[in-house]
Amino acid sequence: MKVLLDLAAADGGTARIGDTRYRDLADPARAVGVMLEPNFHPGRSGRDHLRILARAAGIPMVRVDEMLESVGLAAAADRRAGTYSLGMRQRLGLAAALLGDPSVLVLDEPANGLDPEGIRTLRNSLRGRAAQGHTVFVSSHLLAEVEHLADDVIVINKGRLVAQGSLADLQHAAAFIRTPARDRLLDVVAAAGGVAHARDGDGVVVRGMDLDQIGEAAFHAGIPIHQLSSEAGSLEELFLNWTSGDVEEVER
C-alpha cells in the first residue's frame, strides 16, 4: 500500500492508480481516499481535523458534517480527537478518507477497534461504494470480516504470494478424497503439480487440480477412490492451509 501511495520505493516495477502514479495525480484527495493509520492532532476536534483537510484539498465544507454523520461521529464532532477511543479514531480516519468522495479507497485494517455495529456500518458502506463501481482496496487480518466484504483476495505469506483470485472461486477450489491408499495419493498429487494435505483417517484435501484430473491420476496409479467431491471452506481455514509450512506453488 505504501508503494502504491508513493510512501515507499518498490524493488522493481511500478504501481499506478489508473494510468497515473499517485504523486502525479492532479487532485489526489478526490481520486484516492487513504487510511493507513489514524493521524491527527490530539488537541483538535474531529470536526476541525476534517475542516483542515477539506480546506487544503478545496473540498466544500458541507462534506465535513456529511462525513461525520455518515461514520457516526456527529455527536462527538466537537470533542478533542485525542480523547477518542480506538474505534472513534478509526471512524475519523474513514471520514477523512471519504471526504473527497474518491473513486478509489486504500484502507489498512479499517475495522480495527470497531464494535459490531460499526463493523456492519463499515461493511455496508464499502460494499455500497463497490456496487457503484468504485474500487475498495482493504488490507486486514480479520478474516471473518474479509469473507463478508471482499470479492477478490490476495494472500501473502512471508513476502510471497500464495493465493489470489475471486473469493468464491478460492473457497470452492479444493477437493476432498477418501481413499485407503492415502499416502500413495499424496505422492501422486504432488507429482502431478497439486497441493495435498492429509486429513484424519483416510481423507485428503487437494488444491491445484480439478476433480477430473484427480480422478484420472488416481485411476492411472491404481488407487481406489471411495469419495471424490468439491469442498468449500471458510477463508480462515483456507488461509491456514495456504500459510502452513513452505508453500511452493501459487494457487489461482
Provide Rg for the chain, Cα atoms.
Answer: 23
State the helix-helix crossing angle for 86-98 and 46-57, rounded to 10 degrees: 20
CATH number for the segment(s) 22-150:
3.40.50.300
Cell numbers placing 222:
491404481
- Residue 245 confidence (pLDDT): 53
Cell 493465493 belongs to residue? 163
Q: What is the pLDDT of residue 132?
A: 93
Indicate if the alpha-carbon torsion angle 212, 213, 216, 219 is positive or negative.
negative
What does the block give as the cell for 96?
Answer: 477523512
Q: Does the domain at residues 173-231 carry the CATH identifier 3.30.70.980?
A: yes
The bridge status of strand 203-207 relative to strand 174-178 is antiparallel
**Phi and psi, residue 111, nearest 5°:** -90, 0
Task: Quote the pLDDT of residue 69.
Answer: 95
Strand partners, 154: 164
23, with CB counted inside 10 A (0-12, 13-18, 19+), is exposed
Tens of pLDDT, residue by residue over 39-58, are 889 999 999 999 999 999 99
Q: Are 46 and 77 in contact (CB under 8 A)?
A: yes
Nearest to 118 by CA among 150, 151, 93, 143: 93
Q: Domain extents for the chain?
A: 22-150, 173-231
Tell me if 140 sits within 8 A of 109, measured CB to CB. yes
- The pLDDT of residue 250: 39
The count of other CB atoms within 10 Å of the CB of residue 102 is: 21
Position of cell 478474516? 143
Helix (H) or strand (E) holding 127: helix 116-131
DSSP string, 68-84: HHHTT-GGGTTSBGGG-
Give pLDDT, residue 20: 94
Q: Where would I find the beta strands (DSSP E) of 72-159?
A: 104-108, 135-139, 152-157
pTM to 2 decimals? Answer: 0.73
Q: Which residues of the chain have pLDDT under 50?
A: 246-252
Write down the pLDDT at residue 197: 83
Using DSSP, state whether 231 is helix, strand or coil.
Answer: strand
Which three three-digit cell numbers place residue 208? 491445484
Please work out, in degrees rounded to the nearest 5, the angle formed at the alpha carbon of residue 103 by the alpha carbons of 97 and 107.
Answer: 40
Identify the three-state secondary structure at position 136.
Answer: strand
